[in-house]
Amino acid sequence: MTRHRLRRAIDVATAALAEAGIDSARTDAELLAAHLTGSERGRLATMDPPAADFFRRYDEAVAARSRRIPLQHLTGTAAFGPLELHVGPGVFIPRPETEALLEWAAAQHLTGYPVIVDLCTGSGALAVALADRWPNARVIAVDDDAAALAYARRNSEGTAVEVMQADVTVPGLLAELAGTVDLVVSNPPYIPAGAELEPEVAEHDPTHALFGGPDGMAVIGPIAALAGGWLKPGGLVVIEHDDTTSRQTVETIDRTGRFTAITAHRDLAGRPRFVTARRTEESA
Ligand SMILES: C[S@@+](CC[C@H](N)C(=O)[O-])C[C@H]1O[C@@H](n2cnc3c(N)ncnc32)[C@H](O)[C@@H]1O
């Protein structure tokens, strides 16, 4: 009986979320139910009846999601590749699109004790995933925002990630890294000013995490310059960008005069998503 009630509640929630304009209504309805029952989504159909106050808490969570509060703020976590990260108000929610960048980075051949830098780390998503991938690596995660850094520290507990507060647009930052870094990764703020966004993004992701100046390139330029200075000859950089700025990102990296093999990549949906490059062998 109560199991039927759970199924009915999920159906009603799905309809309410669809009515609120949420494309992933059924998924979200099930994930909220799974979160509140402490179960897995795939076990909802067969699990024991939920506790007495479940239905009231579920209604509240569905109402909050209908107001377009991000699902991840209601569950307190976001999936990113193999990781489940803590997230909440004040930090950018890691996106599935960035998993394409992660897959590219994780497939590179780094040997020994590589040095990896994640610029604009937010929740620490890329840094923590790469520290998992290369347990021998020194991984430095940089962000300038205190709220983001608190999440990055929490998510990187028990890993070798070094979390650092700094503004990546400052020329000459961490000059002591010159010529020592194997891989620089970044998913920086890159949305051109004025772009229209879904309510979850516009109202709940920090503005500072989203926008990269009038053309979306304000932070990408300084990152390319820092990477050019830090990377060893043959070292690699990968930068995510807006789907309208692939060419500008290629040109920005090229203008540093320090990279070869500059390559534009698309994500699984076929949209231009990130650019990779290799530091030239001669130390310019
Ligand atoms: C799009 S979010 C990406 C977070 C994370 N890399 C991810 O993929 O989930 C961009 C991050 O850049 C940080 N940021 C913005 N401008 C910055 C700057 N000038 N220096 C350092 N971090 C910056 C923001 O605080 C935010 O956490």
Q: What is the pLDDT of residues 120-171, one digit of tens each?
A: 999 999 999 999 999 999 999 999 999 999 999 999 999 999 999 999 999 9
Is residue 2 scored above 70 in pLDDT? no
Closest CA to 221 of 250, 243, 195: 250
* 151 is known to lie in a ligand binding site: no
- Given pLDDT bands bounded at 50, 70 and 90, which one contains residue 269? confident
Looking at CATH, the fold of the domain delimited by 80-279 is given as Rossmann fold (3.40.50)
Percent of the chain with pLDDT over 90: 90
pTM: 0.94
Q: Domain extents for the chain?
A: 2-67, 80-279
* 215 is known to lie in a ligand binding site: no
Q: Are 122 and 92 in contact (CB under 8 A)?
A: yes
- Given pLDDT bands bounded at 50, 70 and 90, which one contains residue 115? very high
Atom of ligand 1 nearest to the CA of 98: 8
Tokens of 156: 């990187």
205 C-beta closer than 6 A to ligand 1? no
pLDDT at position 276: 98
For 179-192, b/e burial (b = at least 16 CB within 10 A) is: eebbbbbbbbbbbb
The rounded distance, in Å, linking the Cα atoms of 49 and 47 is 6
Percent of the chain with pLDDT over 70: 98
